[in-house]
Each structure stands twice: as structure tokens, then as C-alpha cells.
Homo-oligomer: A and B are copies of this chain.
Amino acid sequence: MNTFGQLFRITTWGESHGGAVGVVVDGCPPQIDIDISAIQYELDRRRPGQSHLTTPRQEVDAVEILSGVFENKTLGTPISMLVWNKDARPSAYDHLKDIYRPSHADFTYQKKYGIRNWQGGGRASARETIGRVAAGAIAKQILRERSGTETLAYVKQIHALEAMVDTEVVTLQDIENSPVRCPDPIVSSKMAERVDQARRDQDSLGGIIESVTRNVPVGLGEPVFDKLKADLAKAMMSLPATMGFQIGSGFSGITQTGSEHNDAFYNESGRIRTRTNNSGGTQGGISNGEDIVFQVAFKPTATIGKPQQTVDMDGNEVTLEASGRHDPCVLVRAPAIVEAMAALVLTDHFLRHNAKC
């Protein structure tokens, strides 16, 4: 369904074209300070058209809060937020009405539902993430107020260009200073060139987003199915274009032996810590107080300018000539989304932990 979370629960709605997109946040504790400009800031980070590197679509996604907040504080009731769709030029999509775009959701939606909103991707559009980001901004505020927890995400790799980033010290400022949101200044420049090249080629690029969460309380997560790593994996793999998730040592940890890979405990002035963090901040599915570090693989964007072979709804093989503008690398907008999803998962588990103990 369109709901995520158990106690801190969001329900997103809206197609990319049509009235609006939005979210209902349920389960938010009362008396949390709400700063609408902080929500708008996150939406602006997510928005296309922030620089020449990203798609030129120039909507301003201005969020409205319709309920759940009274005199700038949460009431404990559902918070409804929406952003109106302003760029609705349905005719721009007429040529897509009968065509299945490769590696898009057109074909599967049509087969599942027998109907689809073919204007701009409908529910599969990246605009769906607006609701997630708005809700995530509230989750971030809760984590900040209650436990001083902060989640960051940034571009770790684009195509073959991989950045060096120290997860322990990287800041939001470092990330936002880069036009591609890569906090390694040297690799950042190369990435920007590579993205421009892809734009000129009418092609697209994928890459890796890395996320670090610091100051995590010990004890978040549930032992079996709702392990913190499992809920983070689901959150990330529920994003469009994601192809993989790994935490801590991930896929590269398998070439170590157990004696190399185990994180030895030690006593740091009364706080029990681990000397290494191959576990990525969780053990047995539960946060151990070390930084939570994970990576998410995004495939190259499916929308490209180059002609492609595909079929139409009648099964005829046809060539798709895209309409021109495209976003050669969605990664640049992804950090805000990844941070939002991580904050949602952590807040949910924060409340779940409160309930029990």
C-alpha cells in the first residue's frame, strides 16, 4: 500500500500530473516544533532544476501544511501536507500514451491495473518522493529534539568516479557546497563534467549514495523481521531507480574472515564501543551506538534522449524518440530523499522502542 512505518507512519499520494502530491504523517508526537521553512529547505534540495546539471523543470514546490500543527507545534494529530502540481502540460506527454518506455513502470502498471496515468509517469514519477521528503523533515526534527541524532547522505560515486569521504566528519555544508552533492571537492568537479557529458550525449548515469547517521541511541530496531538494517533496506529499495543496498562492510566484507571482520568491543571511558564498524552500526538488527553507515545503488536514469527500441500497447515494435529535456543524473537530488527515508525509519523505531521499555 502507500503507507510506510508502524508508529511514525506516512501515507503518500498523488500522481506527477493532476491536482497535487502530498503526504499524511500520522503518529507524530505532540508539541514538536514545526518550522515550515526547514521543510521547504529539504524540498528545495530534492527539487529538479537546482543547477544546470539537473533537469531544467522550474517548478517551485511550495509546501502547505493543512492540519496537525497549531501555533507552530504539532498537536499529535495527523499532519497533512501538499504541493500543487503546476507544470501540468498533458500534451507534452501525448506521444507516450501508447508506448512502454524501456525500464520504466509503464508496462507493469498497465498490466497490473489495466489503466495508468501516462502523463509524466503518474505514481511512479519522482514527484512521489515530495511527500517522503516533507515527512522526513519532520522526522529529522524529532530526532534532533529527542536524541540529537543527525542523518546525512551524499553522492559517493557517479559512473566510475568514486569519492573519498570520511563518514565521521562530513557535514551538510560539505555536501551542499558541491553542485553534485559530493563532499570530495576534487572528485566532485570530475563528476560535474561527467554529468555534463552525459547530458550532451542524451544519455544518463547512475551511482551510489552513501549515508551516515551519528549519535544514534543504542537499542533501536527489533530482533527478527523489523531489524533496523531490514527496514532501512526496504526504505531505500522502495525508492525509484534503486538497485542495491548494503550496510557496513556490505558486499566487500565477504572477502574477510570472521576474525578479521568481527568488531571487537572495548570500554571507552565507561561507554562500550567497537574498535571497527564493519557492522555499520547495528548488531542483531539493533543499533549499537556506532554510526549507521549504508550505501544505495541507483541505476542510470531510465529517461534518456537517445532513440530506443520498444513496443507499444498493441505489441508493435517501435522506436521511442524522447522529447528532449531529461535529467542525466538523478543522484544529485537523491541525498535529500535518502536522508528523509533514513530519518523516517529511525523515528519509527525510536517511538517503538519508547513503547516497550
Contact = CB atoms under 8 A, between A and B. Distances in A.
Contacts of A247: 237, 243-244
B251 A244 contact: yes
Given A31-B115, A112-B76, A254 B219 contact: no
Nearest to A7: B355
A243 to B, nearest CB: 5
Nearest to A326: B258
Q: How many monomers of this chain does the complex have? A: 4
Given A100-B265, A109-B284, A230-B235, 20 more contacts: A1-B9, A7-B356, A12-B78, A18-B69, A21-B67, A31-B113, A76-B356, A104-B283, A105-B284, A108-B288, A111-B286, A204-B259, A230-B237, A233-B245, A234-B237, A250-B297, A257-B304, A261-B300, A262-B304, A354-B355
Given A3-B225, A224-B128, A251-B251, A113 B76 contact: yes
Chain A interface helix/strand/loop/mixed: mixed
A267 interface: yes
A4 B78 CA distance: 13
Interface string A254-282: 11111111111111001010100011101
Contacts of A77: 2, 13, 15, 117, 122-123, 223
A68 interface: yes
A21 B282 CA distance: 24
A116 B75 contact: yes
A216 to B, nearest CB: 11
A9 B9 CA distance: 14
Contacts of A70: 15, 18, 115-117, 122
Interface of A: 1-4, 7, 9, 11-15, 18-22, 24, 26-27, 29-31, 64-70, 73-80, 82, 100, 102-109, 111-117, 122-124, 128, 157, 159-160, 198, 201, 203-208, 218-219, 221-227, 229-238, 240, 242-251, 253-267, 270, 272, 274, 278-280, 282-288, 297-304, 306, 308-311, 315-317, 351-357
Contacts of A20: 66-67, 80
Given A75-B122, A309-B266, A206 B243 contact: no
B297 A253 contact: yes
Contacts of A303: 258
18 contacts: A2-B222, A18-B67, A20-B66, A75-B115, A75-B122, A108-B218, A108-B284, A112-B357, A114-B357, A159-B257, A230-B233, A232-B237, A244-B245, A251-B251, A258-B304, A259-B308, A261-B299, A264-B308
